[in-house]
Structure 1
């Protein structure tokens, strides 16, 4: 009689996601650490996940799905950008994994990436018009990702209030992207 499964793929991904935030970022996500977290021996993980790269990819995909749910709930550009920043601050290592992965870091499947872009494309189309939606979405995403990345890395060192800078930036970037009726 085969031994019963002692863990699930979902539990493995959740353990890896938690380790990503608690340990040394991506370096802390090892098959051994995940196995300890879910209460199995490391070789048992390979029944569910082929290797560490695939596990990291699954974590990236789950992260994008979670982020997508938050962004889809946004009614306008301000709410969307604020939700994006809140996610980055709550889950900084996961944010870095999906938004600024290092060279050689496994990334989410293209379909998952595309799904995560729907909300920003919707908001960008509302602001800039359908013909310019992709460019507007890229501008909004690039600005917000840069700001959030700098904030997470403690790169704003000149003083001042970071929240005030965020508000200023959101107001200006949304105004810049908004189409002007002539």
Structure 2
């Protein structure tokens, strides 16, 4: 009779996500996760083939969580401008709550650590929909990339405490949303 498992993939994923936030990517090791879930490191290999796969699972979970938050914030039927603000604000909230996961999802890593492309597509679905509504279906992808670059760049600077010239950062965020919405809007929407 085989010995009962002392941990689960779900527990490993939770522990890894917690370690990522507590210690950053460097602290996300098989040994650290094993200690957190109360097993020896070799036991983790029954669930995860190695560190890259572990990081990939954490990235996929974070991307999925972010995608759900974006969809909840800007469901179909929301006006494109309001949806853009709601989705950008959801990204901002996610980044403030889980800064290491935000960086993991929005920065390229080694090939083996990146989320599955289908997970990434689902996570980006709301932004792509809003981009198509604003800029038209032919320009949806470049518009979505522009939205993502602006929002993630703004939030990354905010997390790094790089806005040091005074002023209202929340007002600057709203200004950016308005400017993006106007810049991306199809002529029929202006």
- TM-score range relative to shorter protein: over 0.9
Count how many residue pairs are aligned between Structure 1 and Structure 2: 181
TM-score, normalised on structure 1?
0.94
Using the TM superposition, give the Cα deviation of residue 94 of structure 1 relative to its aligned residue in structure 2, in angstroms: 0.2
**What is the distance in 2 between the residues matched to 1:58 and 1:72?**
21
Partner of 1:83: 90
**What is the distance in 1 between the residues matched to 2:70 and 2:97?**
14
Which of 120, 123, 130 does residue 116 from structure 1 map onto?
123
Partner of 1:12: 12
Partner of 2:186: 179
Using the TM superposition, give the Cα deviation of residue 101 of structure 1 relative to its aligned residue in structure 2, in angstroms: 3.4
**What is the distance in 1 between the residues matched to 2:142 and 2:173?**
21
Q: Deviations over 1:107-126 (max 9, x none)?
A: 11111111111111111111
Q: Deviations over 1:19-50 (max 9, x none)?
A: 10111x10111111111111111111010000
- The 3 A distance-change label for structure 1 pair 22 and 36 is same
Using the TM superposition, give the Cα deviation of residue 163 of structure 1 relative to its aligned residue in structure 2, in angstroms: 1.2
Structure 1: give runs of 5+ residues left out of the alignment.
none
**What is the distance in 2 between the residues matched to 1:30 and 1:170?**
38
Partner of 2:142: 135
Contact 2:53 2:112 in 1 (8 A): no
Partner of 2:43: 44
Partner of 1:97: 104
Q: Deviations over 1:38-93 (max 9, x none)?
A: 11111110100000110000100011110111111213111111111111111100
1:59 aligns with 2:65: no
- Deviating more after overlay: 97-106 vs 56-65: 97-106
- Cα RMSD for the two superposed structures: 1.5
> 3-state DSSP class of the match of 2:33?
helix
- Deviating more after overlay: 160-169 vs 136-145: 160-169
1:150 aligns with 2:157: yes
Structure 2: give runs of 5+ residues left out of the alignment.
none
